[in-house]
Amino acid sequence: MLLKILSWIYILFFEMVFRIPAFFNLTPPHEGGKMFPYLVDERECKNLKKSDSNQRCDKYDEDIKQGDYYCLKNNYISPRNHLENSMSPNLSPPKSPNSKKGQQKPRKDTPPYDYKSDAAKKVDLIALKRDERRQRQADERALRDQIHHLEQHDPQYEFRQMINEYRGALEFRPLRESDAIVENQITVCVRKRPLNDKEQNRREVDVMSVPTKNQLVVHEPKQKVDLTKYVENQVFRFDYVFDDTCTNDLVYKFTAKPLVKTIFEGGMATCFAYGQTGSGKTHTMGGEFKGKSQNFKTGIYGLVAQDVFRYLTHPKYARMNFTVSASFFEIYGKLVFDLLARKQRLRVLEDGKQQVQVVGLTERTVLTVDHILELIQRGSMERTSGQTSANSNSSRSHAVFQIILRRAGSKHIAGKFSLIDLAGNERGADNNKSNRQTQIEGADINKSLLALKECIRALGRRGAHLPFRGSKLTQVLRDSFIGENSRTCMIALISPGNFSVDHSLNTLRYADRVKELIATDHMVDDGPPTIAEEDDSEEIIEESNDGDVDDEEIKAEEQRLHLSSLEWELRESQRHVIQSCVDFHDMACDLYNSADVNGYDRVHYAKKWRNLLSEIVDIQNGALIKAHEFCSALDRC
């Protein structure tokens, strides 16, 4: 009986203490502290997740994303609902520990009573940002891994994609056989060859696009300090641009062919092939290769020869009774070798009237196209097989093939076509880490290419001083740069692969400068270049080994060339500084902004910044040296 009474008292007590207040909703809405109410709730919600109430937890996740967190024991409700359901008219909002005035104004987009402190909200926000950052980093890592995987099979995969994307947006309208030929005194064009087997095996990417008949885009692969890859697209414009599908016939049609009639009209024609080793100079000038043998009929030498014989029978010129002869020689540094006489060394002499003669040069009279092709073949073989001579590498020498017209019975040259396969232009630059001999060769090649540019410039700027003594090459070609009826064509050859992009850009800048100078210099038109008039004089009075003719004049010319070379370097270094400043600005901004993200790696950050600075300082120091050099040279003048 007593036991029964006690149990009734216990039940009554339990009902009074727990159930009745719960019925009137007098218990606190959760068991967490005021500062971090969600800490307890979150834990419980995790338990909830394990239970079958997944739906509720999804809702919880959603609200977490929105920045508010509430989860009631086994009964998760969204913050807004929770507040609507649980708010009693007598409850006052909790005071934020940071609030001085004790009460925060409710925000419009948040419930009027927010049970989280500012600190708790900040922690939430940080957690949210961290999650987002981690997700972003994970995505980037996944993309990088994917690219890395692809690049194991194709090292240039990323660049290839970028270039393809660029090309996809281009409208291609390449040169066609039917396009009009523009008659210029100086024509500058570019030919891109296809990727060869070696380049394809190395999985090089083709970085040259030829969208139109006179435009070329170089996609220069680059990498930022943080190893991000990007492509810098540079557009060049020339008279013609030949893409990798063009044949020698098409190149000939727009370059040398229009010059053939010049020599029948008392003029001088010159055609240069300029470019780095392996870019296709010999293929273009000499003819297509089939294995080791070359088809000379398909090269510009052979095509000019065929047209010369065609013109001979033309009614307009047949009555002039021209005879045709040919010579073939090679210039290696200051030495000249006869390619039609077993590479016999020749002397270059200049008479009192500045007439330059290559003494002893073999000049064969030719009667048929086959005969001339035979001479081309003989000279070409001599050039490449002459291992015992001073020149064991054809790309270190300039080869000059000339077709000469004379009226029957006269010694006077009526017209001359000079076709020149120049030394590889990279040879002039590779003299830093090479031996003395190579350095001398490099300097000679550099000098001759500079002198050539100056002479073409003088040809374009009529009346300008012709610095033909600047090199043996320009000296022997002197008569091609004078006279009103002189025409020149330069074919710049480029390799399309990404490994050759620096050399290709050098080739293009050289060619671009020749054309650019012509464009501006055409404004000045005051007669032919100032060189003494030609005559038939055969009297040779001085050998033109540098120092023999007129020391003062040669020195002055060399000084001018030196100055011109320094100026070129100054301008190049300036261009480099300008470009690097633009890149530097972008990279510095990216880096600076990256530090605003919480939890950034400051060691990585500091190192990157240091590398960026040292890179820009190096570039600027280099440019400063060039500026000093040029200023000192100007002071000495």
Ligand X SMILES: Nc1ncnc2c1ncn2[C@@H]1O[C@H](COP(=O)(O)OP(=O)(O)OP(=O)(O)O)[C@@H](O)[C@H]1O
Q: How far apart are CA 429 and CA 432, in angstroms?
A: 8
Residue number with CB closer to ligand X (191 or 447): 191
Query: Is 275 annotated as belonging to a binding site?
Result: yes
Query: Is 416 annotated as belonging to a binding site?
Result: no
Q: How far is the CB of 451 from ligand X (least distance, A)?
A: 19
Residue number with CB closer to ligand X (218 or 405): 218
Residue number with CB closer to ligand X (292 or 636): 292
How many Cβ atoms are within 10 Å of 297's Cβ, its own excluded? 17
Secondary structure (DSSP) of 13-39: HHIIIIIHHHHTT-S-S-SS-SS-HHH
Query: Is 360 annotated as belonging to a binding site?
Result: no
Q: How far is the CB of 474 from ligand X (least distance, A)?
A: 20
Residue among 124, 119, 221 at smallest CA distance from 166: 221
Q: How far apart are CA 530 and CA 535, in angstroms?
A: 15
Residue among 428, 426, 424, 418 at smallest CA distance from 455: 418
| φ, ψ for residue 306, nearest 5 deg | -60, -40
DSSP for residue 400: E
* Contact positions vs ligand X (CB under 6 A): 193-194, 196, 275, 277-283, 289, 394-395, 424, 493
Q: How far is the CB of 520 from ligand X (least distance, A)?
A: 30
Q: How far is the CB of 191 from ligand X (least distance, A)?
A: 7
Q: How far is the CB of 419 from ligand X (least distance, A)?
A: 13
Burial environment of residue 259 by CB neighbours within 10 A (0 to 12, 13 to 18, 19 or more):
buried
State the helix-helix crossing angle for 501-521 and 436-460, rounded to 10 degrees: 30
Query: Is 228 annotated as belonging to a binding site?
Result: no
Nearest 5 degrees, angle CA 249-CA 250-CA 255? 100
Q: How far apart are CA 429 and CA 535, in angstroms?
A: 39
Residue number with CB closer to ligand X (193 or 257): 193
Residue number with CB closer to ligand X (415 or 424): 424
Cα torsion angle, 387, 391, 394, 400, sign: negative
Residue among 206, 267, 196, 89 at smallest CA distance from 498: 206
Query: Is 276 annotated as belonging to a binding site?
Result: yes
Residue number with CB closer to ligand X (209 or 279): 279
Residue number with CB closer to ligand X (281 or 472): 281
Residue number with CB closer to ligand X (117 or 495): 495
Query: Is 333 annotated as belonging to a binding site?
Result: no
Q: How far is the CB of 622 from ligand X (least distance, A)?
A: 29
Please state, in angstroms and as integers, the Cα–Cα distance from residue 240 to each residue in 67, 331, 410, following that order: 63, 28, 38
Residue number with CB closer to ligand X (389 or 394): 394
Please state, in angstroms and as integers, the Cα–Cα distance from residue 38 to each residue in 113, 120, 169, 509, following that order: 14, 9, 54, 67
Q: How far is the CB of 413 from ligand X (least distance, A)?
A: 28
SS3 341: coil
Q: How far is the CB of 275 from ligand X (least distance, A)?
A: 6
Q: How far apart are CA 120 and CA 594, in angstroms?
A: 25
Residue number with CB closer to ligand X (29 or 278): 278
Q: How far is the CB of 133 from ligand X (least distance, A)?
A: 51
Residue number with CB closer to ligand X (395 or 446): 395
Q: How far apart are CA 123 and CA 38, in angstroms?
A: 12
Tokens (6 digits) for 178? 């039917």
How many Cβ atoms are within 10 Å of 309's Cβ, its own excluded? 17
Q: How far is the CB of 546 from ligand X (least distance, A)?
A: 26
Q: Which residues contact 144 (CB under 8 A, 6 or more apart)?
A: none
Residue among 227, 263, 217, 208 at smallest CA distance from 487: 263
Secondary structure (DSSP) of 179-222: SPPP--SEEEEEEEPPP-HHHHHTT--B-EEEEETTEEEEEEEE
- β-sheet bridge partners, residue 289: 294
Tokens (6 digits) for 246? 């063009």
Q: Are 113 and 93 in contact (CB under 8 A)?
A: yes
Q: How far is the CB of 303 from ligand X (least distance, A)?
A: 14
Per-residue buried b or exposed e for 499-522, using 16+ beta carbons within 10 Å of the residue's own CB: bbbebbbbbbbbbbbbbebbeebe
Residue number with CB closer to ligand X (383 or 487): 383
The residue number whose beta carbon is nearest to ligand X equals 280
Tokens (6 digits) for 540? 């040779």
Residue among 310, 320, 422, 316 at smallest CA distance from 372: 310
Q: How far is the CB of 550 from ligand X (least distance, A)?
A: 34
- β-sheet bridge partners, residue 346: 336
- β-sheet bridge partners, residue 190: 241, 492
Q: How far is the CB of 445 from ligand X (least distance, A)?
A: 11
Q: How far is the CB of 298 from ligand X (least distance, A)?
A: 11
Annotated binding residues for ATP, as ranges? Answer: 275-282
Annotated binding residues, as ranges? Answer: 275-282
